[in-house]
Amino acid sequence: MRVKDSTTRAVAILIVIALLLAGAGLAISALSDDSTDGTDPGSAPTTPAGPTVEPTPDPGSSDPPAPDLAPFYSQQLDWEECRDGFECSRLTVPVDYAAPGGATIQLEVLRDSADDPSSRVGSLVVNPGGPGAPGTSYAEQASQVFRSALTDSFDVVGFDPRGTGASAPVDCLSDEGMDEFLRADPVPDDAEEIGDVVEGLDEFWAGCVANTDGGADGIVAHVTTVEAARDMDVLRAALGEDTLSYFGASYGTKLGATYADLFPDKVGRLVLDGAVDVSLDSVSLSLGQAAGFERALTAYVDNCVEEGDCFLGDSTQEGLDTIAGVLADLDENPIPTLDERELTVGTGFLGVITPLYNRDYWYLLDQGLETALEGDGTTLQLLADAYASRNRDGSYADNSTEAIYAINCLDDPFAVTPDEVPDYVPQFLEASPTLGEVFAWGLIGCDGIRVESSEPDREIKAAGAAPIVVVGTTRDPATPYEWAVALADQLESGVLVSRDGDGHTGYNSGNDCVDAALEDYLVDGTVPEDGLEC
């Protein structure tokens, strides 16, 4: 199973905290509330107004990589006020870069202007990962995600990558269908449950084609990372920037590294935080995440035991066994929640892993597990809702849980059949004795995809690019530290910064050494020492 490697999970949990403290008790508001600009994430967007296709103020920044892309590279963004104090616009890009004269889509773009115009450096394009998380919501949260050194100096610009958010979103299931999809047993126990999982995946992939604009010939076949990276270069030109300054977190590091490989001469100051090893195949990526979450879960239990009187047990192994037991019990007997839904093993698993993205939220996992042991699944359900961007009314604030499948499986359609899963289980249990089987069964996820990518695999080196800073955290659950070391080595100009700590990504996580290094680099261009340990 490839779980979301997205920094938006941590921001979403902030909303869970607020609701828990307020005693709201039902479900959560999602991180990205598209109702603020009247956009339904499940339909074709209509607002705000699109760009004017005119020469940019700086023609040198808009040189297209091919003549037939000139109309896209000559766009100017028409900014309109949106979402209570921000500016939004639309960027037009081709559905298929191999046929730029064909169908087009519009990408949602949001700008949070520099707080100190006198010290403005330029535009900083940001992406929170996922894949599938809306970048506009990330930019909207700039004052929480980034420190003042960056928000003073940059217009923080986020865009919803193609197929996500309000940018021609992939639509695979109804809200009720997504609820059912997430409730499914991630480790089916018998032929009937295996059949249910296979049928659910088949309905998912059929729905992606049937419900998304253009069907199999439309955007659903063109949501690859390579195509999203090409979109970023069109955005760079529309912003009037000669080179791209970029902050990508989680999967956003893969997007940024792909951009650097495609457009090395346009690389400005790139930070890739919580890095993905872009050389790994699907099995290796899943094994890495399994090990990462086991490492994070072990650190969580270690802390509980060290503090004394741990409700999970007197030793780390006892604590891990207790958590495994909670999930096993949910498999047999789902438990009630305050909103009349039942917490199943599927949503229980999501509830357990979500607080591991940020050490500050471990107390929520305490609360979720303690109440689950008492027969109340409300808190773990709330945490699972945060992971899936599920709103209090049962709707979904964005399509990230659908888009992650579409993007990952176009990038790499590898899948195994249910009959083959047992062959993989031993190595996954070695990587993660507590959660490994879930990740092993996740290898069937791309089985049944109805479309093929038009973009071939590429070896990413970014030859000739300016220095690119790669950040890794030693106990990162979603993007293991080893991935950052590998990516920094693969990029010819990669510079590694290491944070010793827990949680997902390194910037603005309480480590002054990391924060200063990245801010000095982005604002002043001072490249950190390669191998800096913080």
Given the structure tokens 């699907």, which residue do they identify? 282
CA distance 297 to 316: 10
Residues in the chain: 534
Q: Which domains does the chain have, with CATH numbers?
A: 34-169+220-277+458-533 (3.40.50.1820), 182-210+282-411+414-448 (no CATH)
CA distance 294 to 298: 6
DSSP-derived secondary structure letter, 36: G
Residues 6+ apart with CB under 8 A from 25: 19, 338, 339, 378
Q: For residue 53, what pLDDT is reported?
A: 31
Chain centroid to Cα 313, Å, comes to 33
Distances in Å between the alpha carbon of 364 and those of 324, 351, 379?
18, 10, 8
Chain centroid to Cα 485, Å, comes to 20
Chain centroid to Cα 350, Å, comes to 15
Chain centroid to Cα 252, Å, comes to 7
Q: Which of 238, 232, 237 is nearest to 261 (CA)?
A: 232
CB distance 362 to 18 below 8 Å? no
CB burial string 141-172: b at 16+ within 10 A, e below? bbeebbeebbbbbbbbbbbbbbbbbbbbbbbb
CB distance 469 to 497 below 8 Å? yes
CB distance 377 to 335 below 8 Å? yes
Q: For residue 9, what pLDDT is reported?
A: 44
CA distance 83 to 139: 11
Q: For residue 456, what pLDDT is reported?
A: 83
Strands (E), 235-355: 244-249, 267-273, 335-336, 342-343
Q: How far apart are the first and last CA of the chain?
A: 31
Which two three-digit tokens encode residue 525? 């261009």
**Amino acid identity for residue 51 in this structure:** P
Provide the annotated active-site residues: 250, 476, 504
CA distance 201 to 439: 16
CA distance 362 to 345: 20
Which two three-digit tokens encode residue 293? 């979450």
Tens place of pLDDT for every residue, the chain, 534 residues? Answer: 566 565 544 444 443 333 333 333 222 222 222 233 333 323 332 223 333 333 333 434 568 898 999 999 999 999 999 999 999 999 999 999 999 999 999 999 999 999 999 999 999 999 999 899 999 999 999 999 999 999 999 999 999 999 999 999 999 999 999 999 998 899 999 999 999 999 999 999 999 999 998 888 899 999 999 999 999 999 999 999 999 999 999 999 999 999 999 999 999 999 999 999 999 999 999 999 999 999 999 999 999 999 999 999 999 999 999 999 999 999 999 999 998 899 999 999 999 999 999 999 999 999 999 999 999 999 999 999 999 999 999 999 999 999 999 999 999 999 999 999 999 999 999 999 999 999 999 999 999 999 998 888 889 999 999 999 999 999 999 899 999 999 999 999 999 999 999 999 999 999 999 999 999 999 999 999 999 999
Whole-model pTM: value is: 0.89
